[in-house]
Amino acid sequence: MRNQDIANLLDLTADLLEIQGANSFRIRAYRSAVRTIEGLTENLADVAGKGAGELTKLPGIGKDLAQRIVEIIQSGTTTQLDELREEVPAGVLDMLKLPGLGPKKVGALFHELHVTSLDELKQAAEEGRVSLLKGFAKKTEQSILENIDAAAQFGQRVSIAEAKRAAEAICDDLRQLDCVTQVEVAGSCRRSKETCGDLDILAVADSPTEIMDRLSEHELVQAVLQRGDTKQRVRLINGLEADLRVVPEESFGAAMQYFTGSKEHNVEVRRRAQERGLKLNEYGLFRGEESVAGRTEEDVYAALGLGWVPPELRENRGEIELAEANKLPKLVEMSDIRGDLHMHTTASDGEASILEMAQAAKDRGLSYIAITDHSKRASVANGLDDKRLLKHWKDIEKVRGQISGIEILKGIECDILEDATLDISDEVLAEADWVIAVIHYGLKQPRKQIMERLLNAIKNPYVCAIGHPSGRIVNKRQGADIDYPEFFQAAADYGVFMEINANPARLDLDDIHAAAARDKGIPIVINTDAHSCGGLDVMPYGVAQARRAGLEAKDVANTRTYSEFCKMLRTS
Protein backbone atom coordinates (compact mmCIF):
# COMPACT_ATOMS: atom_id res chain seq x y z
CA MET A 1 0.00 0.00 0.00
CA ARG A 2 1.61 3.23 -1.19
CA ASN A 3 1.07 6.66 0.31
CA GLN A 4 -0.91 7.88 -2.68
CA ASP A 5 -3.26 4.89 -2.44
CA ILE A 6 -3.96 5.66 1.21
CA ALA A 7 -4.46 9.34 0.42
CA ASN A 8 -6.87 8.45 -2.39
CA LEU A 9 -9.02 6.33 -0.09
CA LEU A 10 -9.23 9.11 2.51
CA ASP A 11 -10.06 11.61 -0.22
CA LEU A 12 -12.82 9.29 -1.45
CA THR A 13 -14.10 9.03 2.10
CA ALA A 14 -14.26 12.82 2.26
CA ASP A 15 -16.18 12.96 -1.05
CA LEU A 16 -18.71 10.46 0.21
CA LEU A 17 -19.07 12.19 3.57
CA GLU A 18 -19.75 15.43 1.74
CA ILE A 19 -22.58 13.88 -0.24
CA GLN A 20 -23.92 12.62 3.07
CA GLY A 21 -23.96 16.21 4.30
CA ALA A 22 -21.34 15.67 7.02
CA ASN A 23 -19.90 18.58 8.99
CA SER A 24 -17.72 20.66 6.67
CA PHE A 25 -14.89 20.89 9.17
CA ARG A 26 -14.84 17.15 9.43
CA ILE A 27 -14.47 17.01 5.64
CA ARG A 28 -11.68 19.55 5.85
CA ALA A 29 -9.88 17.38 8.37
CA TYR A 30 -9.86 14.49 5.89
CA ARG A 31 -8.65 16.73 3.06
CA SER A 32 -5.92 18.11 5.26
CA ALA A 33 -4.75 14.61 6.14
CA VAL A 34 -4.68 13.78 2.43
CA ARG A 35 -2.36 16.72 1.85
CA THR A 36 -0.10 15.73 4.69
CA ILE A 37 0.22 12.22 3.30
CA GLU A 38 0.89 13.44 -0.23
CA GLY A 39 3.72 15.61 1.07
CA LEU A 40 5.42 12.76 2.89
CA THR A 41 8.67 11.22 1.66
CA GLU A 42 8.59 8.36 4.12
CA ASN A 43 6.37 5.39 3.53
CA LEU A 44 3.30 5.75 5.71
CA ALA A 45 3.28 2.05 6.52
CA ASP A 46 6.83 2.41 7.85
CA VAL A 47 5.78 5.37 10.00
CA ALA A 48 2.85 3.38 11.37
CA GLY A 49 5.18 0.45 12.01
CA LYS A 50 7.34 2.53 14.34
CA GLY A 51 4.64 2.70 16.99
CA ALA A 52 1.16 3.74 17.89
CA GLY A 53 1.85 7.43 18.49
CA GLU A 54 3.92 8.09 15.37
CA LEU A 55 1.08 8.79 12.95
CA THR A 56 -0.56 11.35 15.23
CA LYS A 57 2.68 13.33 15.23
CA LEU A 58 1.94 14.19 11.61
CA PRO A 59 0.09 17.49 11.18
CA GLY A 60 -3.66 17.14 10.78
CA ILE A 61 -3.69 13.48 11.78
CA GLY A 62 -5.25 12.73 15.13
CA LYS A 63 -6.27 9.58 16.89
CA ASP A 64 -9.21 8.87 14.64
CA LEU A 65 -7.52 9.33 11.28
CA ALA A 66 -4.44 7.45 12.51
CA GLN A 67 -6.70 4.50 13.29
CA ARG A 68 -8.25 4.66 9.83
CA ILE A 69 -4.82 4.80 8.19
CA VAL A 70 -3.73 1.71 10.10
CA GLU A 71 -6.92 0.01 9.01
CA ILE A 72 -6.20 0.86 5.36
CA ILE A 73 -2.63 -0.42 5.61
CA GLN A 74 -3.83 -3.69 7.11
CA SER A 75 -6.93 -4.35 5.07
CA GLY A 76 -6.87 -2.01 2.08
CA THR A 77 -10.04 -0.25 3.20
CA THR A 78 -11.94 0.93 6.28
CA THR A 79 -15.27 -0.22 7.66
CA GLN A 80 -16.38 3.41 7.45
CA LEU A 81 -15.51 3.58 3.76
CA ASP A 82 -17.23 0.27 3.06
CA GLU A 83 -20.38 1.54 4.75
CA LEU A 84 -20.26 4.80 2.85
CA ARG A 85 -19.80 2.98 -0.44
CA GLU A 86 -22.76 0.82 0.46
CA GLU A 87 -24.88 3.91 1.01
CA VAL A 88 -23.62 6.04 -1.88
CA PRO A 89 -23.10 4.35 -5.28
CA ALA A 90 -19.90 5.26 -7.13
CA GLY A 91 -21.80 6.94 -9.98
CA VAL A 92 -23.13 9.59 -7.63
CA LEU A 93 -19.63 11.08 -7.34
CA ASP A 94 -19.47 11.57 -11.11
CA MET A 95 -22.19 14.19 -10.77
CA LEU A 96 -19.81 16.41 -8.78
CA LYS A 97 -17.91 17.02 -12.01
CA LEU A 98 -20.79 19.02 -13.45
CA PRO A 99 -20.35 22.77 -13.05
CA GLY A 100 -22.80 24.16 -10.55
CA LEU A 101 -23.34 20.85 -8.82
CA GLY A 102 -21.65 20.53 -5.46
CA PRO A 103 -22.10 18.04 -2.66
CA LYS A 104 -25.36 19.55 -1.39
CA LYS A 105 -27.13 19.51 -4.74
CA VAL A 106 -25.75 16.09 -5.67
CA GLY A 107 -26.89 14.86 -2.26
CA ALA A 108 -30.40 16.14 -2.98
CA LEU A 109 -30.46 14.51 -6.41
CA PHE A 110 -29.38 11.21 -4.90
CA HIS A 111 -31.50 11.21 -1.77
CA GLU A 112 -34.68 12.67 -3.20
CA LEU A 113 -34.66 11.61 -6.85
CA HIS A 114 -32.57 8.44 -6.26
CA VAL A 115 -30.35 9.38 -9.18
CA THR A 116 -27.14 7.32 -9.04
CA SER A 117 -25.29 8.05 -12.28
CA LEU A 118 -24.78 10.65 -14.98
CA ASP A 119 -27.05 8.64 -17.30
CA GLU A 120 -29.87 8.63 -14.78
CA LEU A 121 -29.34 12.33 -14.14
CA LYS A 122 -29.62 13.08 -17.83
CA GLN A 123 -32.86 11.14 -18.00
CA ALA A 124 -34.28 12.87 -14.92
CA ALA A 125 -33.39 16.28 -16.35
CA GLU A 126 -34.91 15.45 -19.72
CA GLU A 127 -38.12 14.40 -18.01
CA GLY A 128 -38.22 17.67 -16.08
CA ARG A 129 -38.01 15.97 -12.69
CA VAL A 130 -34.89 17.85 -11.59
CA SER A 131 -36.55 21.26 -11.67
CA LEU A 132 -39.25 20.04 -9.30
CA LEU A 133 -36.74 19.68 -6.48
CA LYS A 134 -36.41 22.43 -3.88
CA GLY A 135 -33.36 24.54 -4.67
CA PHE A 136 -33.45 23.54 -8.32
CA ALA A 137 -35.31 25.20 -11.15
CA LYS A 138 -35.31 25.39 -14.94
CA LYS A 139 -31.91 27.06 -15.27
CA THR A 140 -30.13 24.41 -13.24
CA GLU A 141 -31.88 21.67 -15.17
CA GLN A 142 -30.91 23.33 -18.44
CA SER A 143 -27.31 23.69 -17.33
CA ILE A 144 -27.16 20.01 -16.44
CA LEU A 145 -28.41 19.05 -19.89
CA GLU A 146 -25.95 21.40 -21.56
CA ASN A 147 -22.93 20.06 -19.72
CA ILE A 148 -23.65 16.42 -19.07
CA ASP A 149 -22.30 15.01 -22.31
CA ALA A 150 -18.96 16.72 -21.80
CA ALA A 151 -18.85 15.96 -18.07
CA ALA A 152 -16.27 13.22 -18.40
CA GLN A 153 -13.62 15.66 -19.59
CA PHE A 154 -14.29 18.32 -16.96
CA GLY A 155 -11.94 18.67 -14.08
CA GLN A 156 -8.97 17.38 -16.05
CA ARG A 157 -5.76 19.08 -15.10
CA VAL A 158 -3.35 20.07 -17.86
CA SER A 159 0.45 20.12 -17.78
CA ILE A 160 2.20 23.25 -16.57
CA ALA A 161 3.59 23.70 -20.08
CA GLU A 162 0.14 23.77 -21.65
CA ALA A 163 -1.19 26.05 -18.92
CA LYS A 164 1.69 28.51 -19.25
CA ARG A 165 1.39 28.63 -23.02
CA ALA A 166 -2.32 29.49 -22.79
CA ALA A 167 -1.85 31.94 -19.92
CA GLU A 168 0.92 33.83 -21.68
CA ALA A 169 -1.00 34.02 -24.94
CA ILE A 170 -4.02 35.47 -23.15
CA CYS A 171 -2.08 37.86 -20.90
CA ASP A 172 -0.04 39.17 -23.85
CA ASP A 173 -3.24 39.87 -25.74
CA LEU A 174 -4.98 41.62 -22.85
CA ARG A 175 -1.92 43.79 -22.20
CA GLN A 176 -2.38 45.40 -25.61
CA LEU A 177 -5.53 47.19 -24.48
CA ASP A 178 -5.12 50.88 -23.66
CA CYS A 179 -7.44 50.61 -20.67
CA VAL A 180 -5.17 47.96 -19.09
CA THR A 181 -2.22 48.81 -16.86
CA GLN A 182 -1.40 45.38 -15.40
CA VAL A 183 -2.14 41.77 -16.32
CA GLU A 184 -0.56 38.80 -14.59
CA VAL A 185 -1.31 35.13 -14.20
CA ALA A 186 -1.72 33.93 -10.62
CA GLY A 187 -2.89 30.59 -9.23
CA SER A 188 -1.16 27.24 -9.57
CA CYS A 189 0.29 28.35 -12.90
CA ARG A 190 2.26 31.10 -11.16
CA ARG A 191 3.33 28.62 -8.51
CA SER A 192 4.56 26.37 -11.36
CA LYS A 193 2.70 23.39 -10.02
CA GLU A 194 3.24 20.45 -12.35
CA THR A 195 -0.40 20.45 -13.42
CA CYS A 196 -3.00 23.21 -13.44
CA GLY A 197 -6.74 22.79 -13.00
CA ASP A 198 -7.54 26.29 -14.24
CA LEU A 199 -6.01 29.69 -14.95
CA ASP A 200 -6.33 32.74 -12.71
CA ILE A 201 -5.65 36.01 -14.45
CA LEU A 202 -5.61 39.34 -12.63
CA ALA A 203 -5.82 42.73 -14.24
CA VAL A 204 -5.90 46.40 -13.40
CA ALA A 205 -8.03 48.12 -16.02
CA ASP A 206 -9.99 51.35 -16.34
CA SER A 207 -12.73 49.49 -18.12
CA PRO A 208 -13.61 46.02 -16.80
CA THR A 209 -16.16 45.71 -19.60
CA GLU A 210 -13.57 46.25 -22.30
CA ILE A 211 -11.07 43.73 -20.95
CA MET A 212 -13.77 41.12 -20.36
CA ASP A 213 -15.04 41.63 -23.90
CA ARG A 214 -11.52 41.19 -25.22
CA LEU A 215 -11.07 37.96 -23.29
CA SER A 216 -14.37 36.55 -24.49
CA GLU A 217 -13.26 37.16 -28.08
CA HIS A 218 -9.83 35.56 -27.66
CA GLU A 219 -9.13 32.72 -30.08
CA LEU A 220 -8.41 30.32 -27.23
CA VAL A 221 -11.76 31.00 -25.57
CA GLN A 222 -14.63 28.67 -26.37
CA ALA A 223 -17.39 29.91 -24.07
CA VAL A 224 -18.16 32.44 -21.36
CA LEU A 225 -19.37 30.59 -18.27
CA GLN A 226 -19.91 33.49 -15.86
CA ARG A 227 -19.71 37.23 -16.01
CA GLY A 228 -20.16 39.78 -13.26
CA ASP A 229 -18.93 43.32 -12.64
CA THR A 230 -15.34 42.37 -11.84
CA LYS A 231 -15.07 38.67 -12.59
CA GLN A 232 -15.43 36.60 -15.71
CA ARG A 233 -15.06 32.87 -16.10
CA VAL A 234 -14.45 31.31 -19.50
CA ARG A 235 -13.75 27.87 -20.87
CA LEU A 236 -10.82 27.53 -23.25
CA ILE A 237 -10.83 25.31 -26.32
CA ASN A 238 -8.51 22.84 -24.56
CA GLY A 239 -11.12 22.38 -21.81
CA LEU A 240 -9.24 24.46 -19.26
CA GLU A 241 -11.26 27.14 -17.49
CA ALA A 242 -9.89 30.60 -16.86
CA ASP A 243 -10.94 33.30 -14.38
CA LEU A 244 -10.30 36.94 -15.08
CA ARG A 245 -10.53 39.30 -12.12
CA VAL A 246 -10.33 43.04 -12.50
CA VAL A 247 -9.10 44.72 -9.33
CA PRO A 248 -8.24 48.29 -8.28
CA GLU A 249 -4.58 49.23 -8.58
CA GLU A 250 -4.24 49.72 -4.83
CA SER A 251 -5.41 46.11 -4.37
CA PHE A 252 -3.30 44.44 -7.05
CA GLY A 253 -0.68 43.06 -4.65
CA ALA A 254 -3.29 41.73 -2.25
CA ALA A 255 -5.18 40.18 -5.15
CA MET A 256 -2.00 38.55 -6.50
CA GLN A 257 -1.27 37.18 -3.05
CA TYR A 258 -4.83 36.00 -2.63
CA PHE A 259 -5.24 34.34 -6.02
CA THR A 260 -1.76 32.84 -6.25
CA GLY A 261 -2.57 30.60 -3.29
CA SER A 262 -2.17 27.89 -2.51
CA LYS A 263 -5.32 27.64 -0.49
CA GLU A 264 -3.32 26.06 2.32
CA HIS A 265 -0.71 28.82 2.26
CA ASN A 266 -3.43 31.47 2.32
CA VAL A 267 -5.33 29.91 5.18
CA GLU A 268 -2.16 30.11 7.23
CA VAL A 269 -1.34 33.66 6.15
CA ARG A 270 -4.87 34.85 6.93
CA ARG A 271 -4.73 33.15 10.29
CA ARG A 272 -1.64 35.23 11.02
CA ALA A 273 -3.56 38.32 9.98
CA GLN A 274 -6.38 37.42 12.36
CA GLU A 275 -3.93 36.95 15.22
CA ARG A 276 -2.79 40.50 14.67
CA GLY A 277 -6.34 41.87 14.63
CA LEU A 278 -6.18 42.28 10.85
CA LYS A 279 -8.29 40.99 8.00
CA LEU A 280 -6.78 39.88 4.70
CA ASN A 281 -8.81 39.57 1.52
CA GLU A 282 -8.20 40.17 -2.18
CA TYR A 283 -8.59 43.93 -1.69
CA GLY A 284 -5.98 44.37 0.93
CA LEU A 285 -4.92 43.93 4.51
CA PHE A 286 -7.24 45.84 6.81
CA ARG A 287 -7.37 46.99 10.40
CA GLY A 288 -11.05 47.72 10.74
CA GLU A 289 -11.85 49.92 7.75
CA GLU A 290 -8.29 51.13 7.34
CA SER A 291 -6.13 49.59 4.64
CA VAL A 292 -2.71 48.61 5.95
CA ALA A 293 -1.29 47.12 2.74
CA GLY A 294 -2.40 45.95 -0.70
CA ARG A 295 -0.55 47.63 -3.56
CA THR A 296 2.23 45.05 -3.70
CA GLU A 297 2.66 41.51 -2.41
CA GLU A 298 5.82 42.60 -0.60
CA ASP A 299 3.78 45.13 1.39
CA VAL A 300 1.22 42.53 2.38
CA TYR A 301 3.80 40.02 3.59
CA ALA A 302 5.85 42.72 5.31
CA ALA A 303 2.81 44.00 7.21
CA LEU A 304 2.41 40.48 8.59
CA GLY A 305 6.03 40.28 9.66
CA LEU A 306 6.97 38.03 6.76
CA GLY A 307 9.48 38.20 3.97
CA TRP A 308 8.12 37.95 0.41
CA VAL A 309 7.56 34.28 -0.30
CA PRO A 310 8.41 33.12 -3.83
CA PRO A 311 5.22 31.71 -5.41
CA GLU A 312 6.74 28.27 -5.96
CA LEU A 313 7.07 27.81 -2.20
CA ARG A 314 3.53 28.77 -1.26
CA GLU A 315 2.22 25.38 -0.21
CA ASN A 316 2.27 25.73 3.58
CA ARG A 317 5.13 23.28 3.88
CA GLY A 318 7.19 25.39 6.24
CA GLU A 319 7.78 28.45 4.05
CA ILE A 320 5.80 30.74 6.35
CA GLU A 321 8.03 29.89 9.30
CA LEU A 322 11.09 30.53 7.10
CA ALA A 323 9.61 33.85 5.96
CA GLU A 324 9.07 34.84 9.57
CA ALA A 325 12.63 33.93 10.57
CA ASN A 326 13.99 35.71 7.49
CA LYS A 327 15.47 32.41 6.34
CA LEU A 328 13.79 31.95 2.97
CA PRO A 329 16.14 30.30 0.47
CA LYS A 330 17.53 32.22 -2.47
CA LEU A 331 16.02 29.93 -5.07
CA VAL A 332 17.91 28.71 -8.10
CA GLU A 333 17.16 30.66 -11.29
CA MET A 334 17.33 29.93 -15.01
CA SER A 335 20.30 32.26 -15.28
CA ASP A 336 22.24 30.05 -12.85
CA ILE A 337 22.15 27.05 -15.20
CA ARG A 338 25.41 26.44 -17.06
CA GLY A 339 25.14 22.85 -18.22
CA ASP A 340 22.68 20.23 -19.44
CA LEU A 341 23.62 16.63 -18.80
CA HIS A 342 20.94 14.62 -20.56
CA MET A 343 20.15 14.81 -24.27
CA HIS A 344 19.84 12.65 -27.35
CA THR A 345 21.07 12.74 -30.93
CA THR A 346 20.40 10.92 -34.18
CA ALA A 347 22.65 8.16 -32.82
CA SER A 348 19.58 6.87 -30.98
CA ASP A 349 16.15 8.54 -31.12
CA GLY A 350 17.06 12.22 -31.25
CA GLU A 351 16.37 14.46 -34.22
CA ALA A 352 19.59 16.45 -34.31
CA SER A 353 23.28 15.64 -34.71
CA ILE A 354 25.89 15.99 -31.98
CA LEU A 355 27.13 19.21 -33.51
CA GLU A 356 23.61 20.63 -33.88
CA MET A 357 22.79 19.89 -30.26
CA ALA A 358 26.06 21.42 -29.09
CA GLN A 359 25.47 24.53 -31.16
CA ALA A 360 21.88 24.83 -29.92
CA ALA A 361 23.04 24.47 -26.31
CA LYS A 362 25.74 27.08 -26.87
CA ASP A 363 23.16 29.42 -28.43
CA ARG A 364 21.15 29.04 -25.23
CA GLY A 365 24.09 30.19 -23.14
CA LEU A 366 25.24 26.81 -21.84
CA SER A 367 28.95 26.11 -21.44
CA TYR A 368 28.82 22.32 -21.19
CA ILE A 369 26.57 19.43 -22.15
CA ALA A 370 26.55 15.67 -21.97
CA ILE A 371 25.38 13.65 -24.96
CA THR A 372 23.49 10.74 -23.47
CA ASP A 373 21.90 8.53 -26.07
CA HIS A 374 19.94 5.42 -25.18
CA SER A 375 21.45 2.01 -24.51
CA LYS A 376 20.36 -1.04 -26.48
CA ARG A 377 17.50 -2.18 -24.21
CA ALA A 378 15.60 0.83 -25.51
CA SER A 379 15.34 -0.89 -28.87
CA VAL A 380 12.43 1.24 -30.10
CA ALA A 381 14.69 4.23 -29.54
CA ASN A 382 17.49 2.62 -31.54
CA GLY A 383 19.58 2.25 -28.37
CA LEU A 384 23.33 1.71 -28.59
CA ASP A 385 25.22 -1.45 -27.68
CA ASP A 386 28.82 -1.39 -26.43
CA LYS A 387 30.30 -1.31 -29.90
CA ARG A 388 28.09 1.42 -31.34
CA LEU A 389 28.52 3.46 -28.17
CA LEU A 390 32.30 3.43 -28.46
CA LYS A 391 31.99 4.55 -32.08
CA HIS A 392 29.50 7.27 -31.03
CA TRP A 393 31.96 8.59 -28.46
CA LYS A 394 34.63 8.80 -31.14
CA ASP A 395 32.19 10.96 -33.11
CA ILE A 396 31.72 13.19 -30.07
CA GLU A 397 35.49 13.60 -29.81
CA LYS A 398 35.54 14.74 -33.43
CA VAL A 399 32.79 17.29 -32.82
CA ARG A 400 34.78 18.73 -29.92
CA GLY A 401 37.24 19.93 -32.53
CA GLN A 402 34.52 21.53 -34.62
CA ILE A 403 33.00 23.84 -32.04
CA SER A 404 34.50 26.08 -29.40
CA GLY A 405 33.00 27.66 -26.32
CA ILE A 406 31.16 24.56 -25.18
CA GLU A 407 32.41 21.37 -23.56
CA ILE A 408 30.86 18.07 -24.61
CA LEU A 409 30.87 15.13 -22.24
CA LYS A 410 30.76 11.59 -23.60
CA GLY A 411 27.73 10.17 -21.89
CA ILE A 412 25.14 7.42 -21.97
CA GLU A 413 21.61 6.98 -20.66
CA CYS A 414 22.09 3.42 -19.54
CA ASP A 415 19.11 1.20 -18.80
CA ILE A 416 18.96 -0.61 -15.49
CA LEU A 417 17.62 -3.93 -16.71
CA GLU A 418 14.86 -5.95 -15.06
CA ASP A 419 17.44 -8.31 -13.52
CA ALA A 420 19.22 -5.31 -11.91
CA THR A 421 22.25 -5.45 -14.22
CA LEU A 422 23.25 -2.55 -16.45
CA ASP A 423 22.70 -2.51 -20.20
CA ILE A 424 26.30 -1.52 -21.00
CA SER A 425 29.38 -3.42 -19.81
CA ASP A 426 31.54 -1.98 -17.04
CA GLU A 427 34.54 -1.95 -19.38
CA VAL A 428 32.76 0.47 -21.70
CA LEU A 429 31.10 2.51 -18.92
CA ALA A 430 34.56 3.05 -17.50
CA GLU A 431 35.40 5.08 -20.61
CA ALA A 432 32.43 7.43 -20.19
CA ASP A 433 32.64 10.96 -18.86
CA TRP A 434 29.08 10.80 -17.57
CA VAL A 435 26.68 7.90 -16.99
CA ILE A 436 22.99 8.35 -16.20
CA ALA A 437 21.35 5.14 -15.11
CA VAL A 438 17.59 4.89 -15.64
CA ILE A 439 14.72 2.46 -15.37
CA HIS A 440 12.58 2.35 -18.50
CA TYR A 441 11.19 -1.18 -18.31
CA GLY A 442 9.64 -3.20 -15.52
CA LEU A 443 8.45 -0.10 -13.68
CA LYS A 444 5.66 -2.12 -12.11
CA GLN A 445 7.94 -4.58 -10.36
CA PRO A 446 7.44 -4.90 -6.61
CA ARG A 447 9.34 -2.52 -4.37
CA LYS A 448 11.95 -5.10 -3.43
CA GLN A 449 13.02 -5.65 -7.03
CA ILE A 450 12.90 -1.96 -7.92
CA MET A 451 15.13 -1.20 -4.95
CA GLU A 452 17.57 -3.95 -5.88
CA ARG A 453 17.90 -2.42 -9.34
CA LEU A 454 18.34 1.13 -8.10
CA LEU A 455 20.83 0.15 -5.40
CA ASN A 456 22.83 -1.95 -7.85
CA ALA A 457 23.07 1.01 -10.19
CA ILE A 458 24.10 3.33 -7.38
CA LYS A 459 26.83 0.94 -6.29
CA ASN A 460 28.25 0.64 -9.80
CA PRO A 461 31.42 2.75 -9.74
CA TYR A 462 30.76 4.28 -13.17
CA VAL A 463 27.23 5.50 -12.61
CA CYS A 464 27.16 9.26 -12.02
CA ALA A 465 23.44 9.94 -11.70
CA ILE A 466 20.02 8.34 -11.62
CA GLY A 467 17.81 9.82 -14.35
CA HIS A 468 14.05 10.41 -14.03
CA PRO A 469 14.16 8.22 -10.91
CA SER A 470 10.51 7.22 -10.57
CA GLY A 471 9.67 6.92 -14.26
CA ARG A 472 6.30 8.53 -13.68
CA ILE A 473 4.48 10.38 -16.44
CA VAL A 474 2.51 13.29 -15.06
CA ASN A 475 -1.23 12.54 -15.08
CA LYS A 476 -0.68 9.30 -16.96
CA ARG A 477 1.58 6.80 -15.28
CA GLN A 478 2.42 6.22 -11.68
CA GLY A 479 6.14 5.88 -11.02
CA ALA A 480 7.96 2.86 -9.65
CA ASP A 481 7.43 1.87 -6.03
CA ILE A 482 10.59 3.28 -4.45
CA ASP A 483 11.69 3.25 -0.83
CA TYR A 484 12.92 6.83 -1.01
CA PRO A 485 14.68 7.06 2.37
CA GLU A 486 16.78 3.98 1.53
CA PHE A 487 17.31 5.12 -2.06
CA PHE A 488 18.54 8.58 -1.09
CA GLN A 489 20.71 7.25 1.71
CA ALA A 490 22.50 4.97 -0.76
CA ALA A 491 22.91 7.77 -3.30
CA ALA A 492 24.35 10.00 -0.58
CA ASP A 493 26.71 7.24 0.58
CA TYR A 494 28.00 6.50 -2.92
CA GLY A 495 28.09 10.09 -4.22
CA VAL A 496 25.53 9.56 -6.97
CA PHE A 497 23.58 12.58 -8.29
CA MET A 498 19.84 12.75 -8.69
CA GLU A 499 18.17 14.19 -11.76
CA ILE A 500 15.24 16.51 -11.98
CA ASN A 501 14.10 15.73 -15.49
CA ALA A 502 12.78 19.03 -16.86
CA ASN A 503 10.45 17.54 -19.45
CA PRO A 504 7.03 18.82 -18.31
CA ALA A 505 5.57 15.34 -18.78
CA ARG A 506 8.11 13.95 -16.32
CA LEU A 507 9.31 16.54 -13.79
CA ASP A 508 10.92 13.65 -12.01
CA LEU A 509 12.13 13.92 -9.21
CA ASP A 510 9.07 15.80 -8.07
CA ASP A 511 9.25 18.73 -5.67
CA ILE A 512 8.77 16.72 -2.48
CA HIS A 513 11.44 14.15 -3.30
CA ALA A 514 13.89 16.68 -4.71
CA ALA A 515 13.73 18.47 -1.36
CA ALA A 516 14.29 15.20 0.48
CA ALA A 517 17.31 14.38 -1.74
CA ARG A 518 18.77 17.84 -1.10
CA ASP A 519 18.31 17.31 2.63
CA LYS A 520 20.51 14.22 2.28
CA GLY A 521 23.20 16.34 0.66
CA ILE A 522 22.75 14.72 -2.75
CA PRO A 523 23.72 16.98 -5.66
CA ILE A 524 20.77 17.56 -8.00
CA VAL A 525 21.16 17.92 -11.77
CA ILE A 526 18.38 19.55 -13.78
CA ASN A 527 18.37 18.14 -17.31
CA THR A 528 16.17 18.60 -20.36
CA ASP A 529 16.36 15.06 -21.81
CA ALA A 530 16.08 16.89 -25.13
CA HIS A 531 15.43 14.85 -28.26
CA SER A 532 15.82 17.87 -30.53
CA CYS A 533 17.33 21.35 -30.41
CA GLY A 534 13.98 22.79 -29.37
CA GLY A 535 13.81 20.19 -26.62
CA LEU A 536 16.49 22.15 -24.78
CA ASP A 537 13.89 24.83 -24.08
CA VAL A 538 12.10 22.85 -21.36
CA MET A 539 14.82 23.74 -18.85
CA PRO A 540 12.65 26.41 -17.13
CA TYR A 541 10.16 23.73 -16.07
CA GLY A 542 12.90 21.78 -14.37
CA VAL A 543 14.21 24.91 -12.68
CA ALA A 544 10.67 25.68 -11.52
CA GLN A 545 10.36 22.21 -10.02
CA ALA A 546 13.69 22.74 -8.25
CA ARG A 547 12.42 26.06 -6.92
CA ARG A 548 9.28 24.35 -5.64
CA ALA A 549 11.63 22.02 -3.78
CA GLY A 550 13.32 25.08 -2.24
CA LEU A 551 16.63 24.42 -4.01
CA GLU A 552 19.32 27.07 -4.19
CA ALA A 553 21.97 27.31 -6.89
CA LYS A 554 24.48 25.60 -4.63
CA ASP A 555 22.21 22.53 -4.43
CA VAL A 556 22.17 22.14 -8.22
CA ALA A 557 25.33 20.67 -9.73
CA ASN A 558 24.84 22.07 -13.21
CA THR A 559 24.94 25.64 -11.94
CA ARG A 560 28.67 25.08 -11.46
CA THR A 561 31.30 26.02 -13.98
CA TYR A 562 32.56 23.17 -16.12
CA SER A 563 35.69 22.68 -14.08
CA GLU A 564 33.83 22.85 -10.78
CA PHE A 565 31.29 20.35 -12.09
CA CYS A 566 34.03 17.94 -13.16
CA LYS A 567 35.58 18.15 -9.71
CA MET A 568 32.27 17.08 -8.19
CA LEU A 569 32.22 13.88 -10.25
CA ARG A 570 33.51 11.01 -8.22
CA THR A 571 36.96 9.82 -9.15
CA SER A 572 36.93 6.06 -9.23
Report the interface residues with DNA, using CB under 7 A. 23, 25-26, 28-30, 32-33, 56, 59-66, 80, 96, 98-106, 131, 134-141, 143, 187, 197-198, 200, 226-231, 241, 243, 259, 263, 266-267, 270-271, 273-274, 279-283
- In terms of DSSP bridges, do strands 339-340 and 368-371 run parallel, antiparallel, or are they unpaired? parallel
Nearest-angstrom CA–CA distance, 411 and 64:
52
Specify whether the CB–CB gap between 440 and 378 falls below 8 A: yes
Comparing CB distances to DNA, the nearer of 257 and 559 is 257
Min dist CB 1 to DNA, Å, is 19
Closest approach of DNA to the CB of residue 143, in Å? 6
Residues of the chain by 3-state class (helix, strand, coil), percent to 5: 50, 15, 35
Measured between alpha carbons, how far apart are the two ends of the chain, in Å? 39
Ramachandran angles phi, psi of 282, nearest 5°: -70, -5
Give the nearer residue to DNA in terms of CB position, either 228 or 521: 228
Nearer to DNA, 135 or 401 (CB): 135
Say whether 512 sits in a helix, a strand or coil: helix
CB of 128 to DNA, least distance (A): 12
Question: Which is nearer to DNA, 30 or 484 (by Cβ)?
Answer: 30
Which backbone phi and psi does 9 adopt, to 5 degrees? -70, -40
Supply the minimum distance, in Å, between the C-beta of residue 55 and DNA.
Answer: 9
Q: Of the two residues 64 and 431, which places its CB atom closer to DNA in the complex?
A: 64
- In whole angstroms, the minimum distance from the beta carbon of 185 to DNA comes to 12
Q: How far is the CB of 279 from DNA (least distance, A)?
A: 5
Strand, helix or coil for residue 400: helix
Residue 158's identity, in one-letter code, is V
Pairing status of strand 434-438 against strand 465-466: parallel
Closest to 220 in 3D by CA, of 194, 193, 242, 187: 242
Closest approach of DNA to the CB of residue 230, in Å = 4
Q: Least distance to DNA from the beta carbon of 441, Å?
A: 38
- Cβ-contact 148, 98 below 8 angstroms: yes
Query: Quick one: three-class SS letters along 257-322?
Result: HHHHCCHHHHHHHHHHHHHCCCEEECCEEEECCEEEECCCHHHHHHHCCCCCCCHHHCCCCCHHHH
Query: For residues 263 and 327, which CB has a smaller minimum distance to DNA in the complex?
Result: 263
Minimal distance, residue 271 CB to DNA, in Å: 5
Rounded alpha-carbon distances, angstroms, from residue 464 to 208, 256, 492 = 55, 42, 12
- Nearest residue to 372 via CA among 429, 315, 293: 429
Report, in Å, the least distance between residue 385 CB and DNA: 51
Radius of gyration from C-alpha coordinates of the chain: 26
Among 470, 542, 556, 465, CA closest to 503: 542
Min. distance of Cβ 213 from DNA in angstroms? Answer: 14
CA 217, 169, 475: angle at the middle one, nearest 5? 110
Can you tell me the distance from the alpha carbon of 363 to that of 427, in angstroms, rounded to the nearest whole number? 35
| Cα angle: 459, vertex 441, 539; to 5 degrees | 80
CB-nearer residue toward DNA: 264 or 537: 264
Q: In this structure, are strands 180-185 and 198-205 parallel, antiparallel, or unpaired? A: antiparallel
CA atoms within 13 A on the CB side of 481: 13
- The residue (of 255 and 455) whose beta carbon lies closer to DNA is 255
Which C-beta is closer to DNA: that of 225 or that of 443?
A: 225
Q: Between 79 and 425, name the residue whose CB sits nearer to DNA.
A: 79
Alpha helices in 88-200 (DSSP H): 90-94, 103-113, 118-126, 138-147, 160-175, 187-190
H or E stretch at 541 = helix 539-548
Minimum CB–partner distance for residue 352 and DNA (Å): 40
Minimum separation from the CB atom of position 464 to DNA (A)? 41
Cβ proximity to DNA: between 227 and 364 the closer is: 227
User: Of the two residues 35 and 518, which places its CB atom closer to DNA in the complex?
Assistant: 35
Measure the CA–CA gap between 242 and 252, rounded to whole angstroms. Answer: 18
Q: Give least dist CB 192 to DNA, A.
A: 16
Between residues 285 and 439, which has the closer beta carbon with respect to DNA? Answer: 285
Residue nearer to DNA on the CB measure, 126 or 431: 126
Read off the amino acid at residue 70.
V
